[in-house]
Amino acid sequence: MGPPKTGRAISQQAFDEMVTENIEDLGMDPAEALQDAIDSLTLQGVDLSGIVKCVPGEGSVADNPVIQSLDRLKQLNSDWTDRIGDLKDEEEMVLLLDKLTDLCSVEGSGNAAIATRNGGVELVCSVCLKLRSECDQSLVSALKALASLVHDVQSSEIFQKNDGPKIVVDFLLNNSQKLNILNSSFSVVAAAATGNEIVKESFMNLKIGEVIVQSLRTHGKGSIASLYDAIQVLLTPDDNRVVASQVYGYARIFAKTGIAEALVESLKEGISSPSLVSASIALKAVAVNDEICRSIAESGGVDAVLRCIDDSGEQGNKTVARVCCSLLSKLAGSDANKSAVVEKGGINMLIKLSARFSDDPAVLQEVMSIICVLSLRSPENAARAMEAGAGELAIQAMQRFPAAPQMQRNACMMIRNLVVRNPENRTLLLNSGIEKIIRKAKENHQSCKDAATDALRDLGLDDYNL
C-alpha cells in the first residue's frame, strides 16, 4: 500500500476538457492530445490516480468496464429491498463483484484507483451490509472485492469512515465455522490495515486478536492463509504519517490472548505445513519483548524452529531456512532462549545449514545474524561458535559474495561479537586474513562502514578508523 497522494487533484471533467482543448484548439491528433494532457499534468504534480484516461468521443468514461460494473452494482444496491430474496439479482451481483475484483487486481492497471474515486469502497461496504449471511458465495465475493479495492491510504480511510472494520469483524464473528468467509475477511483486514494506523487501532478496539486466536484454535493449522497476513500487518509500524506507532503495544495485547502459543502450534506441523512461512513471519511480529520470547520457548517454539531449520537444510528449502533463521534470531534476543538454543546444538545446526546453502547470501546473512545474537555478551557462546566454524563461515562468505552488502554487514557484526570478549579469537581471525576482507567491505559498502569499523577496533587494530 502506497503513501498518501500529495499531488493536486483534478476532476474527470477537467481532464476530459483539457484533452478536448488539445484537439480542437491546438490541432493535435487524439492520441497525442491524450498523452500531452497526461504529461503536462504529471509535470505539474497533479494526482491522476483514478482518472479514466481516454479521448472524449472515442471512448467515454461510461464505457470503462470498472465504471460499468460500479454503475450496475449501484443500481442493484439502491433497488435492494426485503423482497430481493430474488436469486437472479443476487447472482448478478456476485458476477459483478467478481468482475470488479478481477479488474482491480490487474497490477498497474489503475483500476482500483478508478473504482475508489468513483465510490467503489463505499458501495461495496453498503453491499456487504445487505447481503444475506446464509449466502456464502455472495459474502465471499463482496469481501474479495473489498480487499481488492482497499489498495492505499485514501481507500483505507474511506473504508474506515464507512464502518468497514466493524462490518468485517461482524462477518468473522457470525461465520466462525466457514473457512471461505474467514479467509476472505482476514484478507480485508490485511489490506485495510496496511499503512494505516487508525484502521489498525479500530480493529484492535474490536478485539480482533481474540477473533484471530479463536480462529486458529477452531480450525486446522494453516487452513486460513490470510489470517497470518492479518497478524503481520496489524503488528507492523508502516504508517509513515505517525511519529510513534502503537503496534508494539498491540503485540503485547495479542500475546495476552494466547496468540503466540497458537502460532507455535502451527510451527510444530513442520516443514510440510503450507502455513509454516506465514506463521513464522507472524510469530516474529508478535515476539516484541523478552517475556513474549520466553513464553514462545516455553510453548516449544525454539524446539520447533530448530527442527524446521534442520529440515530446511535436508530438503533444500531456502525460503523456510531464511524465515525460520530470522525468527530464531528474534527469539534468541532473550538470554534464556539464547542458552536454550546453544544447549540444543543450535550453533552446530546453523553452521551445517550454512554449508548446505553456501551459494545463497540471503541464508548466510540470517545465520550470521543469529550467531551474532548468540555471542552477544557471552564469551562462552563466542568460543563455541568459533569452534563450530563461525570464523571460517565469515571469511568464506565475505570473499565469495563481496557485492552482498547486508551479508557483509552481518558478517562484520558477528565478527565483532566473536572477538570483543575473546582475545584468543582475534588472533585466529587475524591470522586468517580477516582484516583485509573487512577493510574491503568497509570501502565498498557505505552500509558496512560502522559495523566494519567496530569489528576492526575490537580485533585490536589501532588504525580501525582508516
pLDDT at 86: 61
What gap in Å lies between CA 399 and CA 372, rounded to an integer?
19
- Here the cell at position 408 is 557483509
Could you tell me what percentage of the chain is helix, strand and coil, using 3-state DSSP and rounding each to the nearest 5?
A: 70, 0, 30
Residue found under cell 446464509: 134
Whether the predicted pLDDT of 213 surpasses 70: yes
Q: Which of 29-43, 143-157, 271-285, 395-409 has the lowest mean pLDDT?
A: 29-43
| Mean local confidence (pLDDT), 410-419 | 98
**Residue 6 has what pLDDT?**
52
**Segment 431-440, tens digit of pLDDT:** 999 999 999 9
| Cell representation of residue 122 | 463505499
Residue 298: per-residue pLDDT: 96
pLDDT of residue 279: 95
pLDDT(83) > 70: no
**Residue bearing cell 465455522:** 177
pLDDT of 464 over the 60 cut: yes
Calpha distance 140→101 (Å, rounded):
11
| 5 pLDDT more than 90 | no
Nearest to 227 by CA among 199, 193, 250, 256: 193
Q: Each residue of 170-185: pLDDT tens digit?
A: 999 999 999 999 999 9
Q: Which residue has the cell 493449522?
A: 221
**Average pLDDT rounded to a whole number, residues 86-105:** 87
What would the grid cell of residue 421 be? 570478549
DSSP string of 334-389, one letter each residue? SHHHHHHHHHTTHHHHHHHHHHHTTT-HHHHHHHHHHHHHHHTT-HHHHHHHHHHT
Which tens digits make up the pLDDT trace of 281-306?
A: 999 999 999 999 999 999 999 999 99
Residues 189 and 186: their CA atoms lie apart, in Å, by 5
Say how far apart CA 208 and CA 186 lie, in whole Å. 10
Q: With beta carbons less than 8 A apart as the criterion, state whether 373 and 332 touch.
A: yes
Mean of the per-residue pLDDT values of the chain: 91
Burial code of 174-208, b = ≥16 C-beta within 10 A, e = fewer? Answer: ebeebeebbbbbbbbbbbbbbbbbbbbbbbbebeb
pLDDT at 463 over 70: yes
Is the per-residue pLDDT at 84 higher than 70? no
- Model pLDDT for residues 364-387, shown as the tens digit of each residue: 999 999 999 999 999 999 999 999
Q: Which band of pLDDT confidence, cut at 50, 70 and 90, is reported for residue 3?
A: very low
Tell me: pLDDT of 58 over 70.
no
Q: Which three cell numbers stand for residue 22?
A: 488539445
In this prediction, residues 127-153 reach a mean pLDDT of 88
Average pLDDT over residues 102-120: 91
Paired with 8 in beta bridges are 46
Contact 381, 425 (CB under 8 A): no
State how far the Cα of 133 lies from the Cα of 167, in Å rounded to an integer. 12
**Where is average pLDDT lowest: 30-39, 71-80, 339-348?**
30-39
Q: CB within 8 A of 295, min separation 6: which ones?
A: 255, 260, 261
Is pLDDT at 134 greater than 80 in this prediction? no
